[in-house]
Amino acid sequence: MERFIQQLLLIFPLLLLSACNAPARYILVSEGSAESYRTYRENADQRFVCLAQADARNNSGLLALRKQSDIEEYERTRTDRHDPVERILFHLIRKDYSKARDVLQQHDAIVPQYLRTLLHADLAYEADARNPAKAAQLIKQYQDAFDIQPCAISREIINLRIRQVRYLR
C-alpha cells in the first residue's frame, strides 16, 4: 500500500504538469507555411488563425505558441507591447477575449481587413456561440471573413469554425 502511495506521489506532479501545460486554444499559422494547421491540431476545440506573410513576419514570436508554457515564456520575454495587432493576437491566444475586443475596437483601422473581420467573428463566437439564436449571424460573419482571407487553408479553417458553431452545446 505504501509503495502504491509512493508511486502515486511520483506520478501526481507529472499529471499536474501535463494538465497545466494544456494546448493553446488559438494557434497562429502563417500563409504558405510548409506545415498544415493539422500538424498542430490536438483537440476539436482548437482554432487556427492564418496570418498573411507580412503579418506573420511581424509577429513571428506568436506563431510558435502552442502550449500554455509557450505562452508564459513569451509573456516573460515580450518586448514590443505597443503594436496593437500583436496585443490583440496575444490577448486572443491568452483567451482574454474582453481585452482583445477592447484593443480591436480602439485600433480597428490599423488591423488588416482580413484579420479584423475574422477577429470580429471569433470574438463574437466566444461571446455568443452558446446562444442558438446567434448561429445564423455567426455563419454570416465567417462568410464575410472568408472571401478576403489570404491563405489557401482558410477554406478548411472557416468551414471548421462553422461546424463548431453548429455543434457547440
Among 63, 124, 153, 162, indicate the residue that binds other proteins (CB under 8 A).
162
x-or-dash pattern for other proteins, window 38-67, by CB under 8 A? ------------------------------
Question: Which of 17, 20, 36, 132: binder of other proteins (CB under 8 A)?
Answer: 132
Of 23-31, 72-80, 107-115, 159-167, the segment contacting other proteins by CB under 8 A is 159-167
**Smallest distance from other proteins to CB 48, Å:** 16
Nearest to 126 by CA among 84, 150, 91: 91
Regarding 144 and contact with other proteins (CB under 8 A), the answer is: no
Closer residue to other proteins (CB): 95 or 163: 163
Task: Please report, in angstroms and rounded to a whole number, the separation of the first and last CA atoms in the chain.
Answer: 42
Q: Write the DSSP assignment of 39-88 as a string of letters.
A: GG--STT-EEEEEPHHHHHHTHHHHT--BHHHHHHHHHH------HHHHH
Q: Which of 135, 150, 153, 164 binds other proteins (CB under 8 A)?
A: 135
Query: Is residue 109 part of the contact set for other proteins (CB under 8 A)?
Result: no
Number of shown-chain residues binding other proteins (CB under 8 A): 17
Q: Give the interface segment with other proteins, choosing from 25-33, 41-49, 69-77, 129-137 (CB under 8 A).
A: 129-137
- Per CB under 8 A, does 139 bind other proteins? yes
Residue 118: its H or E element: helix 113-128
Contact between 84 and 63 (Cβ < 8 Å): no
Indicate whether 148 belongs to the interface with other proteins (CB under 8 A): no
103 touches 91 (CB < 8 A):
yes
Distance CA 124, CA 138 (A): 7
Q: Taking phi first (over 0 means left), then psi (-120 to 50 degrees means alpha), and beta for anything else, what does residue 111 get?
A: beta
